Structure 1
Amino acid sequence: MSEATGEWQPSALQLERTAYRRGRARRSTAIAGISSLVLLALVVIGVGSTPGWPRVRETFFNFHRGWEALPVVAQGLWLNVRVMLICAVLIVIFGLTLAIMRTLRGPIFFPLRVFAAAYTDVFRGLPLLLVIFLLGFGVPALQLRGLPNQAVIWGGAALVLTYSSYVAEVFRAGIESIHPSQRAAARSLGLSYRQTLRFVVLPQAVRRVMPPLLNDFVSLQKDSGLIAVLGVIDAIRAAQLETAEDFNFTPYVVAGLLFVALTIPLTRLTDWVARRQGWYGGGGGVV
């Protein structure tokens, strides 16, 4: 502490340690940057020197063709974004309902527990693409009155049904991770079962399962492109139509880059939430 100002001042040893750590950090950053540049240069030289690279560059990485296809593919991507957002809300609601059904206690709720368990077992076992085919092609073929025939609706329904089974298990794991003493304390304070679940159990459970839940939504963001198999003009289908004009596959690369541009921010958000809750690093659990 400085005698003149009365404020704390770091000692000479502390200043030396800080300077040493900063020097190590700068050195590590420089080494990482140089090694990355060297590796990138080796990859570029190695790939560029292959005999087939000019053909591959023209077919997959044609800048002019990609720029032409970008507006059409981006318009299709907007459909993917809308499908993902609507399905995400429905998946959270349906998945949480299934998780609560599986955690209900008492013999009177046995049918609900069996239904929820059977639902999660079936839809976790079925491939998502198969569910999309069954709903997207099978239900409209029945020509039932009152049911929509739009392929995008049934593709979204397949996403909701499949992902709800996974999200339900994530929520159930969070609910069952809450110690029974939390429920007992809430009931001793006069809270009903519903109030205990709403105000005590669920807030803690949702906080604990947030990282895996966000990971599921990252996968949902990518799998929303599977609705293209039903003929829906999304980003992948738009890229396919653009490719069919001249058999240049650059539009597929454009679609892939757009999906990556959407996925990376959500992935980084997931990592940030996981680090904040102690999922990464020191190996500690959620407190």
Structure 2
Amino acid sequence: MNYIFEVLPSLLEGAKLTLEIFFWTLVGALPLGLLVGLGLTSKFTPLRAVLRFYVWLMRGTPLLLQLIFVFYGLPLIANGVLTLQRYDAALFAFILNYTAYFAEIFRGGLQSIDRGQYESAKVLRLSYWQTIRKVVTPQVIKIVLPSIGNEVINLIKDSSLVYVIGLGDLLRAGNIATSRDVTLTPLILVGVIYLILTALCTYILRKLEQHYSYWR
């Protein structure tokens, strides 16, 4: 127990960075995913083609590779002009990646809404954005919430990939303690912390699903 209390502060410090990456990725990727999802259902063919290529690229390549490319590759391509700090590079790569996944989820939700509801909104003289905000989005949120929940849980675990660009996240803190002290105890604690985080997210997501279940 003495050893656990000795290494726990460094693990919690790493967990703080993990939560920051998790939170800001959601803040950036969810609204962008909705916008890209709207673009994917647009009748403007060039926009739809560009967004489809973006989604295909982000979903078709590993997030680890995207992190390496953003941090190490962009400065080489831009001759040092476009250089991001480690934390900024991680956020940029995570938001780009998860925006693509959320966009596909939102696209499926948007396409499940009956076209008659758009026509009814026109009869009521609602603008396109009023229709999206007041009629479509509340229904889409209920439809896509389980799929969004799966991606949120994945995001908690994917945040461990930032170690590859040298950020001191939870997993990196555990690896350092394990290498230094030659014991698996820090990694076991890392696993417990991840389980606690995913359990909290699962609980919150279930509460959200219950909140929207009054439409059932």
The answer to whether the 8 A contact 2:142-2:209 is kept is: no
1:236-275 equivalence runs, <5 A: 236-274=171-209
Paired letter, 2:3: R
5+ residue gaps, structure 2: none
Q: Which residue of 2 aligns with 1:197?
A: 132
Give the unaligned 5+ runs of structure 1.
Answer: 1-62, 279-285
1:73 maps to 2:11:
yes
Match of 1:144 in 2: 80
Larger RCO, structures 1/2 (Cα 8 Å, 6+ apart): 2
| 1:148-207 Cα shifts (integer Å, max 9, x gaps) | 431121122221111111100111111111111111100011122222222211221122
- Of the candidates 46, 60, 64, which is equivalent to residue 125 of structure 1? 60
Count residues in correspondence: 214
CA contact (8 A) 1:228 1:236 kept: yes
Looking at structure 1, the residues matched to 71 and 194 of structure 2 have their Cα atoms a distance apart, in angstroms, of 23
Choose the corresponding residue for 2:117, options 182, 194, 210: 182
Q: Which residue of 1 aligns with 2:146?
A: 211
Identity of aligned residues (%): 32
Q: What is the RMSD of the two structures over their aligned residues, measured on CA atoms?
A: 1.9
- Distance in 2, Cα, partners of 1:202 & 1:149: 34
Q: Which has the larger radius of gyration?
A: 1
Distance in 1 between residues matched to 2:210 and 2:182, nearest whole Å: 45
Per the alignment, residue 164 of structure 1 pairs with 99
Q: Distance in 1 between matches of 2:202 and 2:129?
A: 34
Q: Quick one: structure 1 residues 134 and 262, their matched pair in 2 at CA, closer, same or farther if it must change by over 3 Å?
A: same
What is the alpha-carbon distance in structure 2 between the residues aligned to residue 143 and residue 64 of structure 1?
Answer: 50
TM-score (norm: length of structure 2): 0.91
**Partners of 1:115 and 1:78 in 2: how far apart?**
36
Scaled by the length of structure 1, what TM-score is found?
A: 0.69
Flag the structure with higher helix content.
Answer: 2
- 1:74-109 superposed Cα distances (whole Å, 9 cap, x missing partner): 01110111111111111012111110101112xxx1
